[in-house]
Amino acid sequence: MAVTDHVTIDLSLLETTAQKLGQVADTMSRSRATADLDAQLLGQADLTSALGDFSDNWRIHRENLVKAVEGAHTFVANAVEAYRRLDCEMADSLNPADGGKGQ
């Protein structure tokens, strides 16, 4: 493993990733949570029951997925903000017009 004296972060890519995660979370949260199906259309009680179980399980797992994607969105968006703030602070500390604070 190589050791370097700097880190390069593609903030544009991170920002795009955060935006896309937000879009995915929004789309998932607005989509239907269950299959709307008339039990009479299936005709068989076992199949109706199985579909109902699947629908309930999917709703629960879908909610967990939405929470996970929302969490990833928040994490990446906060990382972008923190990196931008750090970059500004570091640039300000190197500015000779700041009264010598960067020296």
Q: How far apart are CA 59 and CA 30, in angstroms?
A: 12
The pLDDT of 69-79, averaged and rounded, is: 97
The domain total for the chain is 1
The pLDDT of 18-40, averaged and rounded, is: 78
pTM of the model: 0.68
Q: Which long-range contacts (CB under 8 A, 24 or more apart) does 58-61 make?
A: 58/33, 58/34, 59/33, 59/34
Residue 103 domain flag: no
Helix axes 11-30, 45-94, angle to 10 degrees: 150
Q: Which domain holds residue 56?
A: 11-31+41-95
Residue 2 domain flag: no
- Give the contacts of 82 (CB within 8 A, at least 6 positions apart): none
Among the ranges given (19-23, 24-28, 55-59, 70-74), the one the predictor scored with the smallest mean pLDDT: 55-59
